[in-house]
Amino acid sequence: MHREFADALAAAVGAPNVLTAADDTAPYCIDWRRQYRAAAECVVRPANAEQVAEVVRLCARSGVAIVPQGGNTGLCGGSVPTGRGNELVLSLARLNRIRGIDPLDDTLTAEAGCVLAQVQQAALDVDRYFPVSLAAEGSCQIGGILSTNAGGVNVLRYGNARDQVLGLEVVLPDGRIWNGLRSLRKDNTGYDLKQLFLGSEGTFGVITAAVLRLRPRPGASATAWIAIDGPESAVRLLARLRERLGETVSAFELISRRCLEAVLAHATAFRDPLPASHPWYVLTELEDSGGFESLYARLEATLADCAERGELRNAAVAASQAQSEALWRIRETIPEAQFANVKHDISVAVSRIPALVEGVESALAAHFPGAQSYIFGHVGDGNLHYNIGMADAGATATLMKRSEEVNRVVYDVVSALGGSISAEHGIGQLKRSELVRCKSPVEMELMRTLKSALDPRGLMNPGKVV
Ligand code: FAD
Ligand code: 2HG
Ligand code: ZN
């Protein structure tokens, strides 16, 4: 790294916050799945928006590219360097202050480096609720979930990360700070600029803070683990639960038997929630303003009725918070229990989920005999994590080398059903070439026009998305 540039960075953020030794930078230069590793010039850890702006100005002056990084839990290689050109990792971890909470406005203003769990807890502390929830919530950061427009398990009721945002503060690629930290529920004064930065994976600027919407804290929640025949039953069961229980249904997750078995094999602490084995499961959660007893009773009665109609095979309703947490731990452990395989994060209209599973399974059987699918995820949003491996680690490693061919097979089915190749994880480095295949030339041109208008020198997270 150029001496003058290094000195200027140290002056901006303090020398201890400019990491250059390989041992220090290594954890920032490899992604969560250990699929992408590349060196950075350095890792810079500013403490506030002004310091971020100064670092961005210095980078613009020296032509150094910036890779914004939050909790580094992203699953598409967006948060790590590409290894092409001079890149600096800009860690937002020290911007971790909650700037304010207003229970009358139902808003919380958080800096980008606040960990999601910290924000959830801060909301609970004032008897409010921040509904974004995902297995990485102990490490992913607000800037990361907003930049990927993360989903998680509560999208069904509350929407994606994008839907939780009222205002943003962003450092633009030239180092100017855009203060859009408004708390307005209604504001039609021209283009809604914050939407540009939500879900654009750090390619337009660095989010430094956000005004987040809070919700009423649910009085009670009830959880059920339900055995079903297959995806078709899941879609019908969701419709039935929503008919009977309305908006109280906040999560509705599909889990295949193979995923459950992977979790049971992963750690001895896990138990199969039901006495017999079943091919598929749904994990559902209800939230309501009333008490637990009545919610539990409504859920149990609805499931008993569904069982009588033959709409489910068996069900276990959690009788305590501890039982509910144990069921959710199974779901949350799936990503690490089936860590190495060819990942897909796909969505279709909810009603097309059965056709999606049928189509992908038969295409896989034809093209990759012996392939084993780990199917799970947010079926209530039409979003499945469709991860494909083989019976043993060696064969899976070989399959991973053919991941482009596997992707082709999966994405052709997705595309025939009018679906998306990235429901929630984003594009990053992983799906960049696929994006070009699945978007029309008009859409790609619009995206590139936006990119060159906002970041004409291409210094914001290059090699990601477009
Ligand atoms: P990072 O990984 O650090 O970054 C992600 C992207 O955002 C990168 O492109 C990065 O450059 C950019 N970025 C980060 N911070 C900023 C910023 N302040 N300004 C501009 N750009 C920035 N995702 C889901 O949607 N739903 C899930 O259910 C889900 N579950 C997960 C479970 C596990 C176990 C793991 C490991 C990941 C999961 N994810 C899920 C993936 C996921 O995208 C996130 O965990 C989260 O959104 C990333 O946050 P992060 O702070 O780790 O971001
Ligand atoms: C989840 O829903 C995440 O758990 C991770 O989005 C999905 O590991 C995966 O494929
Ligand atoms: Zn997910």
pLDDT, one tens digit per residue, over 134-160 is: 999 999 999 999 999 999 999 999 999
**For residues 322-345, average pLDDT:** 95
Contacts of 70 (CB under 8 A, 6+ apart): 79, 92, 93, 112, 113, 140, 141, 142, 143, 144, 145, 147
Rounded Cα gap, residues 452 and 458, in angstroms = 7
Ligand 1 interacting residues, C-beta cut-off 6 A: 32, 67-75, 78-79, 92, 112, 134-136, 140-141, 143-145, 147-148, 150-152, 201-202, 206-207, 335, 424-425, 428, 461, 464
Tens of pLDDT, residue by residue over 151-207, are 999 999 999 999 999 999 999 999 999 999 999 999 999 999 999 999 999 999 999
Single-letter residue type at 182: R
Tens of pLDDT, residue by residue over 63-112, are 999 999 999 999 999 999 999 989 999 999 999 999 999 999 999 999 99
Q: What is the pLDDT of residue 144?
A: 98
pLDDT at 123 over 90: yes
Ligand whose nearest atom lies closest to the CA of 426? 1
pLDDT at 119 over 90: yes
Q: What is the pLDDT of residue 362?
A: 97
Mean pLDDT of the chain: 97
Task: Please give the CATH architecture assigned to the domain spanning 98-216.
Answer: 2-Layer Sandwich (3.30)
**For residues 13-29, average pLDDT:** 97
> Given this chain, do its domains 220-337 and 345-441 carry the same CATH topology?
yes
Q: What is the pLDDT of residue 298?
A: 97
Alpha helices in 312-431 (DSSP H): 321-337, 353-367, 393-401, 403-416
Residue from 425, 430, 431 whose mutation best tests the ligand 2 pocket (most atoms within 8 A of CB): 425
Q: What is the pLDDT of residue 377?
A: 97
Q: What is the pLDDT of residue 342?
A: 96
CATH topology classification for 3-91: 3.30.43
127 token code pair: 């008897």
Strands (E), 173-246: 177-180, 206-213, 215-216, 220-228
Overall size of the chain counted in residues? 466
Q: What is the pLDDT of residue 70?
A: 98
pTM for the predicted model, two decimal places: 0.97
Atom of ligand 2 nearest to the CA of 385: 10
**What does the domain layout of the chain look like in residue ranges?**
3-91, 98-216, 220-337, 345-441
Report phi then psi at 254, rounded to 5: -95, 140
Q: How far is the CA of 401 from the centre of ligand 3 (A)?
A: 24
What CATH code would you report for 345-441?
Answer: 3.30.70.2740
Q: What is the pLDDT of residue 2?
A: 87
Q: What is the pLDDT of residue 358?
A: 98
Ligand 2 interacting residues, C-beta cut-off 6 A: 135, 334-335, 343, 377, 385, 387
Ligand whose nearest atom lies closest to the CA of 205? 1
Q: Which CA distances in Å does 46 have to 180, 268, 300, 394?
A: 20, 41, 51, 42
| The domain over range 220-337 is classified in CATH as 3.30.70.2190 | yes
Q: How confident is the model at residue 1 (pLDDT cuts 50, 70, 90)?
A: confident
Q: How confident is the model at residue 339 (pLDDT cuts 50, 70, 90)?
A: confident
Instruction: Spell 39-49 as b/e; 16+ CB within 10 A means b.
Output: ebbbbbbbbeb
Q: How far is the CA of 75 from the centre of ligand 1 (A)?
A: 7
Q: What is the pLDDT of residue 103?
A: 97
